[in-house]
């Protein structure tokens, strides 16, 4: 027999799809997904650069091992190549930092070798590792990851590379490049905004990060096929969630449901339970009007305190590579930069300084010669306001400067614009300075708070921002969708043991 409560899921990203999947599999029949845009997938979005596929949003399965639910689904749907599924790949543990084969180019127009750069990379890696330890040992000396890395790196540089000022400065310039790369990883403007005490909350899984040869969207397509047809209403931005029986719309007639979801176009959906999966960026911007009555203060404060920034990609296609054949990542090192910093002084004239470099799309037989540039922060948000042609021009000049080759010209360009996306409002969550695990628990807490039996669980919260150790990832988002579905499933069938909790 089916179960009949009305359940509305807001957002058809991976967490919304995951919640719908679990609920429908458990016999819930009245499940509806309201999606603001005309597509499923949210921040998973495969696009095109000419005839190539490129990932505009999520790129990798981070930590593809049996414990990773995205990896399990991708294997089940046969979406990965054999190498990605091999036992060997699954057992590699690189602590979230895949060992890319690097090339280094300097702003003075020369290519530099590993003997100069590897010591900077390994020093940086050890400082980064140290910065994750305060989660357990406490007593962090400064509030942010950025301040910690900068002070440790300058101290170690003085100690280890004392004798050669030129080498020391070049290696410190490389540390700047790595800090800018870290801004992309964390999705933040500066590592000075990322809290040191909670930096270790993010957990990595074993496995060598892998991609979907036919695109991440394939995962979404397969999951959607398992849902009842027509479960999603597209182009349905939700304007307001009226909970606690507060809705008094005259035209909609009376409903016995405690929640009414009102869309921008005026349509209303009564619900016993609503699962909100929309991004933290959207909540920061719209929480005051999205819920009526408004959110309790402790929840509002956590939404405001938590970090949500921008990481964008700029894809470029070239006739011929200017990098070495085995190269997997290109680092741009500004050898004119003095001192340690990950922000750009004049965003308008120098935004491209924040682009730390490129990853190389592999294999070349599949993609041709395509690079993916990475840029985070306000500089990245400014880049979004420029035309594609302006971005192409600036990045072409940049590459010419670093290679010393005035004729290099990328053939095509595609870039993401996550900050100005009205329903993403940025890329993903980070734990900002002053935040702790309590903020994530606050975000994830259902409304009304407490455990009042009759009115419980009117509004539930899923989405990547609500996972305490896998925030900012696809697997984290999926697990939160399953978690909230499980919450409802176990409240309707307390005696039937549900599937393993996903928290």
Q: Which residues bind ligand 6YU (CB under 6 A)?
A: 10-16, 34-37, 42-44, 57-60, 62, 185-186, 199, 202, 237-238, 277-279, 282, 311, 313, 416, 418, 423-424, 427-428, 463-464, 472-475, 477
Are the CB atoms for 104 and 112 separated by under 8 Å? Answer: yes
Q: Which is nearer to ligand 6YU, 183 or 332 (CB)?
A: 183
C-beta closer to ligand 6YU: residue 60 or 351: 60
| Distance from C-alpha of 368 to C-alpha of 328, rounded to nearest angstrom | 14
Q: Nearer to ligand 6YU by C-beta: 44 or 223? A: 44
Longest CA–CA separation in the chain, Å: 80
Tokens of 119: 């010591």
How many CB atoms within 10 Å of residue 77? 16
Q: Compute the least distance from the CB of residue 97 to ligand 6YU, in Å.
A: 9
CB nearer ligand 6YU, residue 159 or residue 265: 265
CB of 316 to ligand 6YU, least distance (A): 16
At its nearest, how many Å lie between ligand 6YU and the CB of residue 328? 14
Nearest approach in angstroms of CB 429 to ligand 6YU is: 8
The packing angle between helices 145-160 and 114-131, to 10°, is 140
Specify the pairing of strand 307-309 against strand 428-430.
antiparallel
Q: Which is nearer to ligand 6YU, 173 or 303 (CB)?
A: 303
What's the distance, CA 457 to chain centroid?
A: 27
Residue 106: CB minimum distance to ligand 6YU, A: 25
Residue 91 CB: number of other CB atoms within 10 A? 11
Least Å distance between CB 177 and ligand 6YU?
Answer: 17
Minimum CB distance to ligand 6YU, residue 57 (Å): 4
Q: Which of 322, 378, 374 lies closest to 55, judged by CA?
A: 374
Instruction: Indicate the residue among 240 and 343 with the shorter CB distance to ligand 6YU.
Output: 240
Answer whether 147's CB lies under 8 Å from 155's CB.
Answer: no
- Show the tokens assigned to 13: 């990203």
**Integer Cα distance of 354 and 357 in angstroms:** 9
502 and 483 Cβ atoms separated by less than 8 Å = yes
Q: In what order do the strands lie in the sheet with 459-461?
A: 232-233, 31-34, 7-10, 273-276, 459-461
**Residue 397 or residue 420: which is nearer to ligand 6YU going by CB?**
420
């Amino acid at each position: 027999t089916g179960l009949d409560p009305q359940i509305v899921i807001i957002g058809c990203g991976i967490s919304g799809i995951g919640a719908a999947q679990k609920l429908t599999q458990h016999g819930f029949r009245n499940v509806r997904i309201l999606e603001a845009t005309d597509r499923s997938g949210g921040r998973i979005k495969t696009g095109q650069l000419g005839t190539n596929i490129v990932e505009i949003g999520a790129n990798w399965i981070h930590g593809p091992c049996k414990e990773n639910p995205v990896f399990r689904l991708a294997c089940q749907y046969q979406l990965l190549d054999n190498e990605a599924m091999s036992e060997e790949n699954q057992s590699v543990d690189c602590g979230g930092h895949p060992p890319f084969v690097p090339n280094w180019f300097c702003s003075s127009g020369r290519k530099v070798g590993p003997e100069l750069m590897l010591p900077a990379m390994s020093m940086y890696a050890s400082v980064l590792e140290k910065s994750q330890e305060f989660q357990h040992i406490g007593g962090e000396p400064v509030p942010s990851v950025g301040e910690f890395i900068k002070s440790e790196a300058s101290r170690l540089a003085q100690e280890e590379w004392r004798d050669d000022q030129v080498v020391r400065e070049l290696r410190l310039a490389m540390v700047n490049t790595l800090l800018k790369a870290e801004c992309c990883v964390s999705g933040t403007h500066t590592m000075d905004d990322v809290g040191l005490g909670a930096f270790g909350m993010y957990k990595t899984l074993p496995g060598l990060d892998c991609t979907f040869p036919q695109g991440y969207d394939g995962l979404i397509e397969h999951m959607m096929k398992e849902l009842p047809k027509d479960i999603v209403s597209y182009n349905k931005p939700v304007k307001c969630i009226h909970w606690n029986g507060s809705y008094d719309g005259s035209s909609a007639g009376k409903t016995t449901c405690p929640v009414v979801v009102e869309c921008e176009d005026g349509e209303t959906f009564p619900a016993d339970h609503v699962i909100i999966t929309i991004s933290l960026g959207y909540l920061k911007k719209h929480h005051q009007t999205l819920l009526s009555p408004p959110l309790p203060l402790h929840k509002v404060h956590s939404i405001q305190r938590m970090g949500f920034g921008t990481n964008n990609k700029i894809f470029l296609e070239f006739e011929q590579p200017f990098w070495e054949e085995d190269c997997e990542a290109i680092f741009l090192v500004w050898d004119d930069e003095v001192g340690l910093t990950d922000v750009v002084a004049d965003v308008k004239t120098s935004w491209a300084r924040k682009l730390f470099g490129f990853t190389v799309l592999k294999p070349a037989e599949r993609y041709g010669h395509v690079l993916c540039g990475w840029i985070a922060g306000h500089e990245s948000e400014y880049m979004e306001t420029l035309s594609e042609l302006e971005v192409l021009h600036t990045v072409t000049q940049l590459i010419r400067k670093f290679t010393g080759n005035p004729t290099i010209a990328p053939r095509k360009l595609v870039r993401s614009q996550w900050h100005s996306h009205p329903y993403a409002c940025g890329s993903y969550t980070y734990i900002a300075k002053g935040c702790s695990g309590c903020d994530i628990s606050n975000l994830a807490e259902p409304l009304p708070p407490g455990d009042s039996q009759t009115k419980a669980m009117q509004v539930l919260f899923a989405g990547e921002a609500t996972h305490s150790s896998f925030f900012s990832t696809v697997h984290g988002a999926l697990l939160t969708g399953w978690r909230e579905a499980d919450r409802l499933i176990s409240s309707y069938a307390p005696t039937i043991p549900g599937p393993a909790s996903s928290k």
